[in-house]
Amino acid sequence: MSSIVTASRRATQDHFEPEAALDPQEQRKLRGHLDQIDYTTFAANQAVIGKSLGQTDLEKFERLAIRAAHARAEWVAAALELSEKPHSLTAEETARLAALRTAYDELTEAYEALRRMVERGYLSYAPKK
The 10s digit of each residue's pLDDT in 24-66 is 888 889 889 999 999 999 999 999 999 999 999 999 999 999 9
Q: Is the pLDDT of residue 1 over 50?
A: no
Q: Is the pLDDT of residue 98 over 90?
A: yes
Tell me the whole-structure pTM to 2 decimals.
0.73
Predicted local distance difference test score (pLDDT) of residue 120: 94
Residues 6+ apart with CB under 8 A from 107: 64, 67, 68, 71
Question: For residues 45 and 93, what is the distance between their CA atoms, to the nearest angstrom?
Answer: 40
| DSSP category for residue 35 | H
Q: Is the pLDDT of residue 8 over 60?
A: no
Per-residue CA distances from 112 to 35, 61, 117, 119 (Å): 25, 10, 9, 10
For residue 73, the one-letter residue type is A
Q: What is the mean pLDDT of the chain?
A: 88
